[in-house]
Amino acid sequence: MYLSTFMEARKKVTTTMQKIAVLLQISALIALSAFSEAFLFIALVMVKFWQSLAPQDFLNWMTNDLYLMPKIMVPLNREANYQNPVFKM
C-alpha cells in the first residue's frame, strides 16, 4: 500500500516537472529568438545606416535618437514572433 502511494506521488511529481521543463524550454526559445532578431536588426539595418554617417552626425544621432531603439525593436520582435509558426500552440 505504501509503495503504490509512493509510486503515484512520484508519477505526479515527474509529470509536473516535465511540464515545467517544457515551459522553460519554450520560454528560452522565445527569449533566444527575440535576442537574435534584435541582433540581426542591428547588424543588417542599423550598422549600415551608422556607417553611412559622418562621425559627428553619428555622435549627434546617438545622443538624440538612441532612446528610440527599443520603440522600434520591440514591435518588430513581437510581430516576427507572432508570424513564426514555431510559437503557435
Residues in Cβ contact with 87 at an 8 Å cutoff, skipping those fewer than 6 apart: 30, 33, 81
* Pair 26, 83: CB distance under 8 Å: no
- Mean pLDDT rounded to a whole number for the chain: 76
pLDDT of residue 54: 92
Could you give the number of structural domains in the chain?
1
pLDDT in tens, 65-74: 877 777 776 6
* Pair 50, 58: CB distance under 8 Å: yes
Residue numbers of the domain that contains 60: 2-87
pLDDT of residue 40: 82
E runs forming strands in 1-89: none
pLDDT in tens, 18-59: 888 888 888 888 878 777 877 887 888 888 888 898 989 988
12/18: higher pLDDT: 18
